[in-house]
Amino acid sequence: MGKALRCGLFALAFLAATVVWGQSKAAKETRRPAANAAASPAAAPAPSGEFFSLLDGMPMLLELHHDTEVGTNKPIDVYMLVIEMQIMNSDGNFEPVGLQIHNFYTAHAQNWNYDVNQHTAHDCKVWNGLITKALRNHKPTDATWPYIELSVAEGARIIQTNEDGAVFWSDDIQCWGSSDRFPPF
């Protein structure tokens, strides 16, 4: 049997094995906040700063959308940050694999007078870039793996948009980098 034919048969066998034993399920998706979540009143108080939601994972996509606010049609820029969830410091029991969480938040602070960090959305964009670059340059032998972390304040305020539905005020979220000793699932 010729070398080319052996290589071709090996490639075909490898492809067949990949199809049979490979991951056949598509990534699961969910959304934060729920698209139909009620908008917060215009005079809603800022959250206390307690955070109820910490989401760690691999940054999959950061996209800027040009939306309009429901009722006023006022232009409002919205980021969609997709993070594939990673359970940090796992005990080895695989939690949800392939769960991609689509997070929506305003690109600019909604209430500059009472916001602790008016540049949170910008900070998320910076962290997304840093973690994406770190993952691209990551060596499998490194001791830890880089991830992005998105936190949402308890009582986070919401705006309804005509295009994307409900979105968090960027005033009420935070992003930063994190790391874990385990690779992505």
Contact present, 156 and 172 (Cβ < 8 Å): yes
The pLDDT tens digits of the residues spanning 122-158 come to 999 999 999 999 999 999 899 988 999 999 988 899 9
pLDDT tens readout for residues 64-123: 999 999 999 999 999 999 999 887 766 656 555 678 999 999 999 887 666 556 788 999
User: Residue 100: what are its φ and ψ, rounded to 5°?
Assistant: -100, 120
Provide mean pLDDT across the span 5-32: 51
Q: What is the pLDDT of residue 103?
A: 96
**In the prediction, which pLDDT does 50 show?**
74
pLDDT the model gives residue 15: 37
